Amino acid sequence: MKHLTLLLFVLALSTASFAEKADFSGTWNIDKSKSTLNEQFSMAPNQLILTQDKNTLTIERHSSFRDQDFTFTDKLTLDGKECINKGFRDSEKKSKAVWSDDAKTLIVTTKIPMQDGNELTLVEKYQLVDSNLQINVKASSSYGESEETYVFAQQ
């Protein structure tokens, strides 16, 4: 009986490790009517272009602020190792991307230095929900905390 229990446990672990990871590749446009955005200031991009392979995710964010367009590109490894990308005003932002146990959610934690000497921490959870890309974002810094949910439709 002990051998059977051990065998079932090993099979469960091996099946979980082969779970197919979600693929977020594509061009995605924000659907503000389905999103939950902060009223005064939202960090939601207008468009995301995601390129994903087995080991990496490249995120191209297209945003606008005060009628000025911005594009930011981050490259992340999908193995939980720290990645450094260019931040706002030549700062460096440090990110780690890890999969949930079921491989359906990608959790990206990013630390961004702030001008007051503290840092902004962003935790983004990427999921595919009803053929949409949904990203739950929690931001915390010395200025407080905020939370938004972005919903994107694939172009």
Q: What is the pLDDT of residues 95-148, one digit of tens each?
A: 999 999 999 999 999 999 998 889 999 999 999 999 999 999 999 999 999 999
Least-confidence region, from 11-15, 27-31, 151-155: 11-15
> Among residues of the chain, what percentage have pLDDT more than 70?
88
Q: Is residue 115 part of a domain?
A: yes
Q: How many Å separate Cα 66 from the centre of its chain?
A: 25
Q: Is residue 94 part of a domain?
A: yes
pLDDT band of 9, cuts 50, 70, 90: very low
What's the average model confidence in pLDDT over 74-81?
97
The pLDDT mean for the chain works out to 89
Q: Is residue 87 part of a domain?
A: yes
Q: Is residue 73 part of a domain?
A: yes
pLDDT band of 18, cuts 50, 70, 90: low
Sole residue written with tokens 């490894």: 77
Q: Is residue 142 part of a domain?
A: yes
Q: Is residue 10 part of a domain?
A: no
pLDDT value of residue 19: 72
User: Could you tell me the residue range of the domain that residue 36 belongs to?
Assistant: 21-154
- When divided into structural domains, the chain yields a total of 1
CATH number at residue 101: 2.40.128.20
Statement: residue 21 has pLDDT above 50: yes
Statement: residue 10 has pLDDT above 90: no
- Nearest residue to 148 (alpha-carbon basis) of 45, 8, 16, 28: 45
User: 122-139 b/e with 16+ CB inside 10 Å = b?
Assistant: bebebbeeeebbbbbbeb
Q: Is residue 108 part of a domain?
A: yes
Q: What is the pTM of this model?
A: 0.85
pLDDT band of 8, cuts 50, 70, 90: very low
pLDDT value of residue 62: 97
